[in-house]
Chains A and B, each alone.
Chain A
Amino acid sequence: MSIEAHIQVERGTFKLNARLELPASGVTAVFGPSGSGKTTLLRALAGLDPCPGSRVIVNGTSWQTTTESLATHERSIGLVFQEPSLFEHLTVQANLDFGRQRISKSAQTIPLDHSIELLEISPLLNRYPHQLSVGEQQRVAIARALVVCPEWLLLDEPLAAMDVARKREILPYLETLCRESDLPILYVSHSREEVARLADHLVVLNEGKVIANGPAIEIFSNLDLPLASEPDSASIIETTVAGHDNTYGLTLLDFAGGQFQVTHHDLPVDTPVRLRVQANDVSLTLERPTQTSILNVFKAEVVEMAEAGPTHVLVKLAISSNSDSGPTLLARITRKSAEQLALQPGHAVYAQIKSAALLN
C-alpha cells in the first residue's frame, strides 16, 4: 500500500511540478515557505483545483490519471482547512453527521464516538459553531474529517490561523491523532515546530519543486537544505523516558548515543519523546570538559561543515554510539572558534548541550 502522485499545476508564472511517493502510514509533512506551492499541492491532491496531466494513485486506486479524474466527493479523503469552516447553519453534531451520512454503512470503519472522544468534543455536540472558540471549532473540523473514514487525511496548515494559546490547545490532539491512527496523514505546514513534533516523513517544497523527500529527522539536519541553514536551525533526537531523578528534579531520557538529563517532566517511563536541540545551544570542545555546569555532554564526530552567514559555521555532528549511524546534532559556532579548534570532518569533539526542549 502506498501513495503515488505526480502533480503538475500552472498558474500564471507559478509552476508546481511535484513527484511524490509516500508511505501509506504515518505523518508526511509538506514543508516550505509561503508561495512554495504547499497548498496548491494539497488542493490538487484533493481534486479541488483542476490539474490536467497529473497522476494520483492511492492504495492502488487511481484518483487521477492523464485522461480521467475523480471529483473531490468521489475521493476517499478527509480535509481540514486552515480555518475551521464549519457549516454555520448546523450544530456540531449535524456537522459531524453531514459527511458520515454520505458514506456507506460498510465504510464506517471508525466509530463516531471514537473521534468525538479523541478530540474531546462531546460537550459541544448541541452547540452551533458561533458558540465555540476557534480552537474548539478546529477540533470539530478535525473530527468531521475523520468520521468519513478517509483513506487519506489532508491537513492544510490547521494551526496557521490560530494564536499561540490556541496552537498549544490543539497540538496535543493532533499528536494523539498522529500517534494513534493508522491513517496516512499529509500535513502541510510552514512551521518548523509543528513539523518537528509531528512528522515522520518530510517533503520539502521550494518554488514549486520538491527539494527533499525522506525521513524527517534526517532532513532536519541536512546542511544542504534550508531547514538547517536558517539561524534557528535545530536537530531532533528521538528518546524514551528512562526514569526520573527526584533529588534534583530531573528527567532522564535514553537515546542511541547515551542519556539526556532535562528538567523534570511528568511522563511515565518508556514514553517516546522527541527532543529538539537548537544549533545555537550546542558548543564544542576538543577535550572532555570536567568542570562544567552543563549536564549533557556527548562525544561526537564532525561529519560536515557549512558556512552560515559571514561569521558563523554550522557543524553537523554524529554522536558516537554503538550503532552505525549515531544521532545527528547540529552546532552553530563562530567561524573564529571553528578555526581556533581547527575543526575538520572526521575530528572527534565533545558537544556540550546547554538546553534541549521536549517536543511533546
Chain B
Amino acid sequence: MNLQPEDWNALWITLKLAATSTIILIVLGTPLAWWLSQTRFRGKFLLEAIVALPLVLPPTVLGFYLLVALGPSGPVGGFIKAIGGQPPVFSFEGLIIGSVIYSMPFVVQPLQDAFKAIGTRPLEVAATLRATPWDRFWFVAVPLARSGFVTAAVLGFAHTLGEFGVVLMIGGNIPGETQVVSIAIYDHVESLAYTKAHWVAGTLLVISFLLLVAVYAGNRKFRVWKP
C-alpha cells in the first residue's frame, strides 16, 4: 500500500472519532428521540428545531461557535480551565464534542421516526400485559425500532466520517492528533500530490462501502419478522 504513516494515522483517528461519536450519539439520542416521539409537550418543536439546526448551518458556523465556547476564554472552556482542566479545543475530545453536535440530527431523526412508526398499540398491549413504562421501552419499543437504530448508527457514523468544516475549526489540523482523513486529502490536493490523495480517498471509499454492505446485509438477515 502506498499510504504514508501520517495517512494511516489520519485514517485511524477518523474511524476512532466516528465510532466514539456514534456510540455517544446512540446513548444520548435514544432517550431524546423517545421523549420527542411520545411527548405532547407543546414546546417540543423548539427542541426539534435545535436538534435539526446542524442540518442547515454551514459547518464552519457551527465550528466557529464551538471554538469560541470551548476555547480558554469561552464559557465552557473557561470553566474547565478554572477547575484546572484543559479546554477541549485542538484536541481529540474537542473533535468528539463537535461531531456529536454536528451529527445529532442524523441519529435523533431516524430514531424518532422509528419510535413513532411503532404506534401506540404495541405499547398499550404491553401495558395490559403488566409491563411497566421502562419495560415497555426496553422490551417492546427498542426491539421494534431495531431498523431505526441501524439507520441511525450508519448515518451518524457516515456523517462523522465525512466531516470537514467543524473539525477544521475546532480541531485544527494537527497530524496524529486531530488530522482526519478529509483534511489529509485536502492537504494532499493543496500540495498537488494527487497520487497520495487518490490512495487516501480510495481507501476511505472502500472502507465506507464495505461497512455499509455489511450493515445492510446483516440488517436484512435479522429482520425475520418483516417479510
Say whether A87 contacts B226, CB under 8 Å.
no
Chain A 169-189, CB within 8 Å of chain B: the 1/0 string? 000000000000000000000
Chain B 123-135, CB within 8 Å of chain A: the 1/0 string? 0111111111001
Chain B 97-121, CB within 8 Å of chain A: the 1/0 string? 0000000000000000000000001
**Chain A residues with CB under 8 A of B131:** 73, 98-99, 102
Which chain B residue shows the least CB distance to A78?
A: B128
Say whether B225 contacts A144, CB under 8 Å.
no
B204 within 8 Å of A by Cβ? no
Say whether A128 contacts B224, CB under 8 Å.
yes
How many residue pairs link A and B with beta carbons under 8 A? The number is: 62
Measured CA separation A28–B173 after assembly (Å): 75
Measured CA separation A65–B226 after assembly (Å): 43
A72 within 8 Å of B by Cβ? yes
B5 within 8 Å of A by Cβ? no
Measured CA separation A72–B120 after assembly (Å): 14
**Chain A residues with CB under 8 A of B124:** 48, 72, 81
**Chain A residues with CB under 8 A of B224:** 128
CB distance from A138 to the nearest CB of B (A): 13
A79 within 8 Å of B by Cβ? yes
- Greatest chain B CB density within 10 A among A102, A129, A145 is at A102
B150 within 8 Å of A by Cβ? no
Say whether B128 contacts A128, CB under 8 Å.
no
B201 within 8 Å of A by Cβ? no
A304 within 8 Å of B by Cβ? no
**Chain A residues with CB under 8 A of B146:** 89
Given the interface pairs A102-B135, A128-B224, A130-B227, the reply to whether A85 lies near B125 with Cβ below 8 Å is yes
Chain A, range 92-110, C-beta contacts under 8 Å to B: 98-99, 102-103
Say whether A81 contacts B125, CB under 8 Å.
yes
A253 within 8 Å of B by Cβ? no
CB distance from A252 to the nearest CB of B (A): 45
Measured CA separation A148–B130 after assembly (Å): 8
A196 within 8 Å of B by Cβ? no
**Chain B residues with CB under 8 A of A98:** 126, 129, 131, 139
**Chain A residues with CB under 8 A of B129:** 73, 98-99, 102, 144, 148
Neighbour of B143 across the interface among A79, A89, A128, CB < 8 A: A89
Measured CA separation A128–B122 after assembly (Å): 15
Measured CA separation A145–B126 after assembly (Å): 10
Measured CA separation A85–B120 after assembly (Å): 11
Measured CA separation A79–B224 after assembly (Å): 27
**Chain A residues with CB under 8 A of B52:** none
Measured CA separation A99–B126 after assembly (Å): 8
CB distance from B148 to the nearest CB of A (A): 13
Given the interface pairs A81-B121, A88-B144, the reply to whether A99 lies near B130 with Cβ below 8 Å is yes
B140 within 8 Å of A by Cβ? yes
Given the interface pairs A48-B124, A85-B122, the reply to whether A103 lies near B225 with Cβ below 8 Å is no
CB distance from A146 to the nearest CB of B (A): 11
Say whether B128 contacts A83, CB under 8 Å.
no
Measured CA separation A102–B135 after assembly (Å): 10
CB distance from B162 to the nearest CB of A (A): 32
Chain A 70-84, CB within 8 Å of chain B: the 1/0 string? 011100011101010
A203 within 8 Å of B by Cβ? no
**Chain A residues with CB under 8 A of B144:** 87-89
A9 within 8 Å of B by Cβ? no
Could you tell me which B residues sit within 8 Å of A by CB distance? Answer: 121-122, 124-132, 135, 139-140, 143-144, 146, 224-227
12 contacts between A and B (CB under 8 A): A48-B124, A71-B127, A72-B124, A73-B128, A73-B130, A88-B225, A89-B143, A102-B131, A128-B225, A130-B227, A144-B129, A148-B129
Given contacts A73-B135, A89-B143, A89-B146, 6 further A-B contacts (CB under 8 A): A73-B127, A85-B121, A87-B126, A99-B130, A103-B130, A128-B224
